[in-house]
Amino acid sequence: MSFLEGKVLLITGGTGSFGRALTRHLLEHHRPRKIIIFSRDEFKQWQMSKEFPEELYPQLRFFLGDIRDKDRLWFALDRVDYVVHAAALKHVPILEYNPLEAVKTNILGAQNLIEVAVEKGVRKVVALSTDKAVNPVNLYGATKLTMEKLFIAGNVYAGAKETSFCVVRYGNVVGSRGSVIPFFLKLLSQGERELPITDERMTRFWITLEEGIRLVLFALEHGEGGEVFVPKIPSVRIVDIARALCPKCSLKIVGIRPGEKLHETLISEEESRNLYLVKHDGREYFVLLPQFQFEARAPKKWLSYPRVPEGFFYRSDANDWWLEGEELKEFLRKAIGGLQAPAD
């Protein structure tokens, strides 16, 4: 029996790519009593309600609201067991020009959620973070780093209450809005035969929506509070993606954009002092424990697992798992439903 059976879940930012995929997975593989989609875009909620019609999914609810609005969260979190926090502003250049808006949503909105979750007695909240939170070079990464710190410290704020908070941190999601693969596919569908590459050396971590969902559910079920969960996932060269999508296309080097890294880091060397490697259900996860121990709320169940060696760091160009050649093509086929590149 699923630990979610008969439970009430709320997904902030639930109309996004991850929220919709998580909702479908929960409806197909678990039996929650209710799933609440909390988001601020009424049109996207309307679209999602057509994808999940009420007559087939009566346990699905749509709640219009913004995590900036603490009073609205108060009503939304009534009798909720679990929360998956996926709401965020994340467009790097736009946030650089509108920094306070990023702070209001990604930081102050997160704190609103923490406080209301404790007040309402939510069992567990899992927040989605990003590799850009590690050694951040742009405002988006800085707000996500702050969000992580708030969620970890939220376990202290909860005190003796049941509510716990943890974080999942992963890399680029294959096929998500704004990622490079849909961008390349759009250019190819328009007849382009030259794909722009920022830098030939650029590497990224890649994860499918399905693997992201597995990670979130692992954290929801097994997290004690205060952990950052990081999946062991493959790296890929952006050049290899372009060539896999269109082998005969030419590549145009356009230079790294402002606020962009050549390689991404999921775990820094400094963080790895409190890092454990956990194997579960055929997968490997890194579990990062808080640098500052929070007395009785410190997670202890992971201490029996092996620690990573001193000096360990997890960066996309230093990974021991790469997607290349036919393996990359197969990965893309599964992730985006078939290569939509020209036959030549």
**Mean pLDDT, residues 315-344:** 77
> What would the pLDDT profile of 259-291 be if each residue is shown by its tens digit?
889 999 999 999 999 999 999 989 999 999 988
Give the number of other CB atoms < 10 A from CB of residue 282: 5
Q: What is the pTM of this model?
A: 0.93
Q: Provide the percentage of residues in the chain whose pLDDT is more than 70.
A: 94
Residue-level pLDDT at 296: 56
Q: Check: CATH 3.40.50.720 for 8-171+207-233+265-314? A: yes
Would the pLDDT of 344 be above 70?
Answer: no
Residue-level pLDDT at 333: 81
Q: Cα–Cα distance between 221 and 218 in angstroms, integer?
A: 5
Model confidence band, residue 160 (pLDDT cutoffs 50, 70, 90): confident
Total residues belonging to the chain: 344
Would the pLDDT of 293 be above 80?
Answer: no
Distances (CA, A) of 100 to 49, 261, 268, 344: 32, 23, 27, 47
Smallest Cα–Cα separation from 175: which of 143, 146, 212, 201? 212
Q: Provide the percentage of residues in the chain whose pLDDT is more than 90.
A: 78
Residue-level pLDDT at 241: 92
Helices (H), 35-121: 42-51, 70-76, 92-97, 99-102, 109-120
Active site residue 90: no
For the ranges 16-25, 176-185, 205-214, 282-291, which has the lowest average pLDDT? Answer: 176-185
Residue-level pLDDT at 172: 85
Q: Cα–Cα distance between 263 and 260 in angstroms, integer?
A: 9
Model confidence band, residue 87 (pLDDT cutoffs 50, 70, 90): very high
**Mean pLDDT, residues 112-133:** 97
Residue-level pLDDT at 259: 84
Q: Position 127: which residue type? A: A
Residue-level pLDDT at 178: 66
Residue-level pLDDT at 339: 44
Catalytic residue among 132, 144, 261, 329: 132
Domain ranges of the chain: 8-171+207-233+265-314
Q: Cα–Cα distance between 165 and 83 in angstroms, integer?
A: 10
Residue-level pLDDT at 338: 47
Mean pLDDT, the chain, rounded, equals 92
> What would the pLDDT profile of 9-38 be if each residue is shown by its tens digit?
999 999 999 999 999 999 999 999 999 999
